[in-house]
Amino acid sequence: MDVSNKLSFDRTDAVNAGKSVYSLIIVLLIWEIVTQLGMIHYYFLPPLSDILVRFFEMTVDGTLIYHGYLTVRRALVGLVIACTLGIVIGVLTARNRIASWFFDPIIEVGYPVPVIALVPVFLFWFGTGDLSKIVLVAIGCFWPVAINVRNATRDVDENLIWSARMMGTSDRQLLRRVIVPASAPGIISGIQIALPISLIITFVFEMVAGGGGLGHIEIQGVRTFDSVQVYATLIAIMILGFALDRGLRQVRFRLLNWT
């Protein structure tokens, strides 16, 4: 991508971001006005100003930072495991007949299963600690990564493969220099799909099993009828999700700026 195209891309992103901020500001203003006028009961929807004050207090005293760290660590460790297995198995399934015969049915059957339904089973097997959360995140994120990698690898232009083989490229070099780079957009798309799934699974598991994390302190707010804490935690969850998504988008842009 040349400099002029990159600048044009950056300006377009800035304009789109500015347009999206306007609607968000309007919604937040309506929220504050409606709640300050008492049109919605405080318990159901506290004023945004009260929520932001609590968010600031919970950040300063380290509550949100500590529990946010627990949530992100569990989600990202599980995601890394899922990506490692998903990429390896996805490539094997696409390039090897025996692997395709074995893994294709497992992927097709396992993908539609709602992973959240396995939370009670994992509580039996692994307890309420980090292990159960990480393993469930890994399983839930494995399917979208494996499917996207498999499909992207199968869709690699055969002309590229034939050209590489005619130049004497070995199977290992073919995989590293042709197949993986050509399927990189599909691989990263699978990771982008899996990222929010990892956070969702972690939040839900923390709500059910406890053990700290943003999901845990959010459900604590519900149990103590502290709606301000619930919404302050929701803001932290949204910020984390947005930051991780934007970070992954930047990684994608830097890795795929040649496409």
The whole-number pLDDT of residue 3 equals 44
Mean pLDDT of the chain: 83
Which residues are CB-neighbours of 30 under 8 A, at least 6 positions away?
none
How does residue 18 score in pLDDT terms, banded at 50, 70 and 90? low
- The string of pLDDT tens digits covering residues 87-111 is 999 888 887 888 888 888 888 888 8
- The string of pLDDT tens digits covering residues 145-159 is 999 998 888 887 666
- pTM of the shown model: 0.82
Residue among 74, 144, 155 at smallest CA distance from 107: 144
How does residue 256 score in pLDDT terms, banded at 50, 70 and 90? confident
The whole-number pLDDT of residue 199 equals 93
What's 1's DSSP letter? -
At 45, the amino acid letter reads L
Is CATH 1.10.3720.10 the classification given to domain 48-255?
yes
- Report the pLDDT averaged over residues 27-43: 87
- Residue 200 pLDDT exceeds 70: yes
SS3 annotation, 190-209:
HHHHHHHHHHHHHHHHHHHH
Name the most confidently modeled range: 135-144, 179-188, 243-252. Answer: 135-144
CB neighbourhood size of 179 (10 A): 20
- Residue 144 pLDDT exceeds 60: yes
> Higher model confidence: residue 116 or residue 240?
240
Residue with tokens 């044009």: 8
CA distance 178 to 39: 61
The whole-number pLDDT of residue 186 equals 85
The whole-number pLDDT of residue 80 equals 95
- The string of pLDDT tens digits covering residues 47-87 is 999 999 999 999 999 899 999 999 999 999 999 999 999 99
Tokens of 76: 């990202």
- Residue 6 pLDDT exceeds 60: no
